[in-house]
Structure 1
């Protein structure tokens, strides 16, 4: 019954109020035991009883305030403890209450005030043994000093560990937010950048043929409309993934993957760049995140070829060797200037590849144009060769004669 009442109070009251209630209960318990000691177990003379009871109230108040104001509460309780041995016989219970105060200073006070608490602890120990009669043996004094300092050290060390854990949790939350923002930026950049590039190309082509070939213009406008509708549908899916409103929805349903590459190639061909897709052999069922990232890598590479490379054709090759997924995109555009620097698009591809521990290479193709190759290791459960034997994950650079084999970054966005 008492436990039920306490649980209801703890749930209803704020955290600080709950701690104050618990400490007040501890102070009241000590005061009740202290009164029993002073009045029944070891009765005091009536002359010294009022002063002893006042000291007991001071120690109880220190216990009640030990978390709200740790150092003042300790000073109050320790002062009452020393005063108690001056006005009356030493109490058996009072030193243990003071030990709780010492622990509380180390645990709940700030670093600065906790260290002052250590200094005050030594002072109050010295004052106690000066006031108490008869004076204990040096060995007993040394034992008390050791125990009290150890008590402070335990509280102080616990507080510092809690601070370190709090800092670590904050850093983890900040890192999680940063990673989530980067993920959102990648998704929106890949989706919006790709779609807007296609729509701009289609709109420009339609404007050029509007007067001399209305039928072609209508075809381009129809493609523009279909691209816009598809973009809206995919944007809605992306926002659904980011919000994850639906109970039981893992946020991956409906996201594009390698199976959507032929449709992507069709849209790119309508925009003016002929795209050929070859997937050999057909990869096993991939995790949603890996499947989506592979699709986005190809999408961004083709968008770069259309928007920045002025390419007229591109080839997409996806191979599965059992341990990794090899994505190769080549175009016949104008390539890249020497010493080029990466933009948001290639940086986003690099981030996607890095998330899976893969390798990325991009740079000029052998006979002109631009080439991008990404190797993504497959999870163990999917890393099976066609014969069913687990294969190791190895990701190398392009073969000899196709350009540098080192990983590079590029300026294309």
Structure 2
């Protein structure tokens, strides 16, 4: 595993640790209590994604103890709000429900040594519960979306498996019977054997046609770049499209569509671009596909991700070439050349 990938997979852990260190320093500098209060707040915050329930319990215990002892500061409550939001977001729904139960005693203990009004205490409880509710709702919506996506994928896989099983199973059985029969009569009746082998060939060709029909279900019904550009524009990234290439073969047209689709998706997702230009032009070299966005551009020494790797592999299958990097006026630029033949 590369160092960059190792760091990327643990970026939230590093962020949480940094957040905990900042909280520790802030509480130690602004609070009047002992350092163990600052340490408890910092450690609890650092645990917010890996162990959110334990982290919030620790942070709340320290907050309650400090309040009961009269040691309060301005940083600990904000750290506790971050903790309750994390408790609503990261663990399972069952564990998340512990959050509201812990909020009320934590707030009451924090204000126990202060002359706070009932309205102030009620407002604090409401704000804490709101932070938890936002995190809880976000997490549950994400879970529902993932379940829907997984169900859709499973349904499509089942349908494709059924189609392929019906097609391949039937066809192979027929071909095996015909080939076996031709072997039996090969010496005694060559004409009959030839007839049976011709039937095997015909069955095989029909099977290829059926297989192509099934696989077409994996392709877009109409690889329309204009519609793709419109969808991206509706999603928030204006696309200037120029197409001067017609009469492309099916595989080449699909490849162009997929390349542009992936490039625009990368521009919006990774480049945070608000606009991009797409050019698909026939030339002496073949079909030139160029996608340039006006986003934040690549970082120095950037590594190629799965999207660009997929584009490169798709182009290489067709004998094409890929060049990508920073654009002349900023952003990211991708140029792909695919031969016509």
TM range (shorter): 0.5 to 0.7
Q: Which residue of 2 aligns with 1:27?
A: 20
Q: Which residue of 1 aligns with 2:304?
A: none
Alpha-carbon distance between aligned partners in 1 of 2:125 and 2:20, rounded to the nearest angstrom: 24
Alpha-carbon distance between aligned partners in 2 of 1:85 and 1:199, rounded to the nearest angstrom: 87
Aligned length: 220
| Residue 11 (str. 1) matches residue 5 (str. 2) | yes
Higher helix proportion: 2
Alpha-carbon distance between aligned partners in 2 of 1:10 and 1:165, rounded to the nearest angstrom: 29
Q: Do the aligned partners of 1:85 and 1:91 also contact (CA within 8 Å) in 2? A: no
Cα offset, 1:128, TM superposition: 1.6
Q: Which residue of 1 aligns with 2:195?
A: 223
Deviations 1:40-75 (A, max 9, x none): xxxx4xxx5xx1x21011011001001111111101
| Residue 129 (str. 1) matches residue 126 (str. 2) | no
Distance 1:32-1:234 versus aligned 2 partners, 3 A rule: farther
Deviations 1:336-388 (A, max 9, x none): xxxxxxxxxxxxxxxxxxxxxxxxxxxxxxxxxxxxxxxxxxxxxxxxxxxxx
Select 1:58's aligned residue among 10, 31, 40.
40
Taking only aligned residues, the RMSD between alpha carbons, in angstroms, comes to 3.7
Task: Give the secondary structure class of the aligned counterpart of 1:68.
Answer: coil
Distance 1:24-1:160 versus aligned 2 partners, 3 A rule: same
Alpha-carbon distance between aligned partners in 1 of 2:26 and 2:105, rounded to the nearest angstrom: 27
Distance 1:61-1:190 versus aligned 2 partners, 3 A rule: same
Equivalent residues in 2 for 1:218-257 (5 A)? Answer: 218-231=190-203
Bigger Cα Rg: 1
Equivalent residues in 2 for 1:252-291 (5 A)? Answer: none
Cα offset, 1:9, TM superposition: 6.8
Alpha-carbon distance between aligned partners in 1 of 2:6 and 2:180, rounded to the nearest angstrom: 59
Alpha-carbon distance between aligned partners in 1 of 2:107 and 2:30, rounded to the nearest angstrom: 22
Structure 2 portions without partners, runs of 5+: 220-249, 252-341
Distance 1:56-1:241 versus aligned 2 partners, 3 A rule: farther
Alpha-carbon distance between aligned partners in 2 of 1:27 and 1:146, rounded to the nearest angstrom: 25
Select 1:71's aligned residue among 45, 48, 53.
53
Alpha-carbon distance between aligned partners in 2 of 1:96 and 1:33, rounded to the nearest angstrom: 11
Q: Which residue of 2 aligns with 1:309?
A: none
Cα offset, 1:33, TM superposition: 2.5
Cα offset, 1:89, TM superposition: 4.2
Cα offset, 1:231, TM superposition: 4.8
Alpha-carbon distance between aligned partners in 1 of 2:175 and 2:91, rounded to the nearest angstrom: 58
Alpha-carbon distance between aligned partners in 2 of 1:9 and 1:137, rounded to the nearest angstrom: 53
Task: Give the secondary structure class of the aligned counterpart of 2:111.
Answer: helix
Q: Do the aligned partners of 1:191 and 1:235 also contact (CA within 8 Å) in 2? A: yes
Task: Give the secondary structure class of the aligned counterpart of 1:226.
Answer: helix
Q: Do the aligned partners of 2:100 and 2:132 also contact (CA within 8 Å) in 1? A: yes
| Residue 177 (str. 1) matches residue 157 (str. 2) | yes
Equivalent residues in 2 for 1:357-396 (5 A)? Answer: none
